[in-house]
Amino acid sequence: MFDELTRTAGPGTPLAAQARGLDMRLMLRAGEEDTLLIIRDGSVTEARRGPHVTPSWDTRLSAAPGDWEAFLAAVPRPGYHDIYALLRNGRMAWEGNLLPMMQHLMYIKRLLASLRPEVA
């Protein structure tokens, strides 16, 4: 579900330029499936699919696969259009050290939104 992030936010992309200096391990959990994003200087250099042995991450965002799919729709419906909306509705959990995410919140939001199909 999240593999494409190495392309949409890989080195040299406009997205990567929005988070210069950010080094972060962001875990994205869809149901029981974990994907660990390695972010270096704002670029997603790896998207490591689990299962992971003794995983280490800064921040983890967890939601059910169906809720991720609703979030990643080209035009998400109300309640699913943003990670704060999902948090508010109890459909997403934010865990770990939130500081790097909060320091780069717009980048993280754009990073995830980069997986949405473009609206024609």
Binding site for other proteins (CB under 8 A): 75-76, 78-79, 81-85, 87-89, 98-99, 102-103, 105-106, 109
**Phi-psi category of 54—alpha, beta or left, where left has phi over 0 and alpha has psi -120 to 50?**
left
In the bound state with other proteins, the residue whose beta carbon lies nearer, of 49 and 98, is 98
CB nearer to other proteins: pick between 53 and 106: 106
Q: Which residues pair with 63 in a beta bridge?
A: 30, 92
Cβ-based nearer residue to other proteins, 32 or 118: 118
- Min CB(111)–other proteins separation in Å: 12
Paired strand residues for 35: 28, 49
CB of 116 to other proteins, least distance (A): 9
Of 36 and 63, which has the nearer Cβ to other proteins?
63
Q: Least distance to other proteins from the beta carbon of 50, Å?
A: 27
Query: Residue 106: which residues within 8 A CB-CB, separation 6 or more?
Result: 18
Answer yes or no: are the C-beta atoms of 25 and 57 closer than 8 Å.
Answer: yes
Smallest distance from the beta carbon of 31 to other proteins, in angstroms?
23
Match 């997603």 to its residue by tokens: 44
What span, in angstroms and rounded, lies between the C-alpha atoms of 47 and 28? 10
